[in-house]
Amino acid sequence: MVLEYDMPTAEQVAHLGQAWDLHPLVVEDLLKAGQRPKLERYGDVLFVVARLASYDDPTEDVQVTEFHLLLRANIVVILCQARDGESVGDVHRLARDPAVLRLGAESIVHSFLNTAVGGYVQVVADLEADRETIERQVFDGDDAVAERIYRLTREIIDLQHAAVPLKDVVEALQAGSGRHEIHPGLHAYLQDVLDNLTRVTGAIAELREALTQILNVNATLVNQRQNENMKKISGWAAVLFAPTLVGAIYGMNFDHMPELHWAFGYPMALGLMVALGVSLWMLFRRNRWM
């Protein structure tokens, strides 16, 4: 039997706690969202916290939904604690597969975890596609790409917080298979989930590292563009400074100055300004400063 609670109220949790005689710590956890994935046993009650993830590509947002699972004998309770995209209705189909049900109630927990890992795989694939787009933006010189990198890194961290602790949950479920009379046929399915989850966590770590490297490359390219701009500004400043210097000297109102009363003094000064400016411009142009 599978019982489903979509965003349960405090009254519903309290009623469940009384009906199952749950440990007060379990009831307290059921009332709180924002917990890391974990597996705990309180007597004959198995308590699992897991997170499902999906990716909204238009907003580039990883939507993580927290679920709590309670298992006792042949009864499984699934509670959606904080909905951001999924609901109990999206996962209740796990309890309808006869091939799953014949392996016992723990197989429903396995099927839930397998669905969670499958969602992580799809999210990683979508994030990888966005990473490739970001790389093109970086080399195209898009000024808005840095913000996108930071935003996507934050989403990857959210996914990492959901996926990495889940390995401990699967391993703990495997370790307890002998002591808690879990169907032997379920062990191979759990190992498959663990293998897939290991690949996912590795891909998440590589994706996060790749974004860090892309951010460093972007910072380097931005610095290079800024240096090129500074070269151009400095070059034009030098070109304008030379004629300004000549004009400033010949603009001094002293009585005794060379060529002050020379008929060709004015055109010579103008020619000197132009010659200096053109010479500096050609020099900077040859050195690719301008």
- Mean pLDDT within 28-38: 84
pLDDT in tens, 6-20: 788 888 888 888 888
Question: Can you tell me the distance from the alpha carbon of 290 to that of 287, in angstroms, rounded to the nearest whole number?
Answer: 8
Say if residue 83's pLDDT is above 60: no
pLDDT in tens, 213-243: 888 777 776 676 766 667 677 777 777 777 7
Exposure on the CB side of residue 39, measured as CA atoms within 13 A: 18
Residue 46 has pLDDT above 80, yes or no: yes
Q: What is the mean pLDDT of the chain?
A: 78
Cα angle, residue 106 at apex, residues 45 and 18 outer, rounded to 5°: 25
Q: How confident is the model at residue 135 (pLDDT cuts 50, 70, 90)?
A: confident
Model confidence over 94-132: pLDDT tens digits? 545 566 566 666 778 888 888 888 889 999 898 888 888
